[in-house]
Amino acid sequence: MRGPWVSPGADTRAVSAESRVYLRAPVRADQAEFLGLMRASRSFHRPWATAPTDEERFSAYLGDAQRPDFEAMLLCRTVDHAILGFFNLSQITRRSLQSAYLGYAVGKQFAGKGYMREGIELVLRRAFLTLRLHRVEANIQPGNRASIALAKGAGFRREGFSPRYLKIGGRWRDHERWAILVEEWRERHAEGRMLEGAGATENSP
């Protein structure tokens, strides 16, 4: 399958080169590469996030990826198909909510290169157009400036503050709640298309 999402078992060599990155589901064959990246990034992620760093937790991650309320997405580089990081949509709730929680982490060696910024746009496109969600929420520790900047750049709004919200690294930690609705996402992209169109008109001979 060509485009930003590659189905399990598909030939990744067919991915379009129009984007630097694409998303795909994790598979068992990813274990060595994924664990190597996450182990090398442990100190970089601490205390903001935890990621699988051993075979048992990776197996559990693959198990979670099979659940209907969990969407596991590896962020991969188009040019060489290297795993750069991951995004997860968890606690996907249907019916009157149509919502999910977003979590993510990038490998230390790939941070600060704009890959996650491109990746989160693909995630939201999948969340709102393919999964038909109405709301996506990201819970971020107040001191995690890079993560907050990523969410803000993608159009998330700060909705509130939750003290001692999640237990990470053995401690209950405060989090800010950031969220985006499908209407906000559509409006943002409509404005972007309008600006692109205006720029093309102004630059025309």
* Tens-binned pLDDT, residue by residue, of the chain (205 aa): 334 656 555 555 555 557 899 999 999 999 999 999 999 998 888 878 888 899 999 999 999 999 999 999 999 999 999 999 999 999 999 999 999 999 999 999 999 999 999 999 999 999 999 999 999 999 999 999 999 999 999 999 999 999 999 888 888 999 999 999 999 999 988 876 655 565 543 433 3
**N- to C-terminal Cα distance for the chain?**
38
Q: Which residues pair with 101 in a beta bridge?
A: 90, 137
Within a domain: residue 205?
A: no
Q: What is the CATH number of the domain that holds 154?
A: 3.40.630.30
Q: Is residue 204 part of a domain?
A: no
Rounded to 5 degrees, φ, ψ at 185 are: -65, -45
Name the burial class of residue 201, with classes exposed (0-12), middle (13-18) and buried (19+) by CB atoms within 10 angstroms of its CB.
exposed
Whole-angstrom Cα distance, residue 25 to residue 162?
31
Closest Cα to residue 124, out of 187, 185, 70? Answer: 185
Q: How many helices (H) and strands (E) does the chain have?
A: 6, 8
Asked if the structure places residue 197 within a domain, the reply is no
pLDDT of residue 203: 39
Tokens of residue 80, six digits: 């060489």
**Is residue 203 one of the residues assigned to a domain?**
no
Q: What's the pLDDT at 7?
A: 57
Domain holding 51, by residue range, is: 5-192
Residue 41 carries which side chain, given as an amino acid letter?
A: S
Phi then psi dihedrals of residue 40, to 5 deg: -70, -15
Q: Is there a domain that residue 58 lies in?
A: yes
pLDDT for position 171 = 86
Domain membership of residue 56 (yes or no) is yes
The DSSP symbol for 179 reads E
| Number of domains observed in the structure of the chain | 1
Would 198 be classed as within a structural domain?
Answer: no
pTM of the model: 0.84
Q: What is the pLDDT of residue 192?
A: 60
What is the distance, to the nearest Å, from the Cα of residue 43 to the centroid of all Cα atoms in its chain? 20
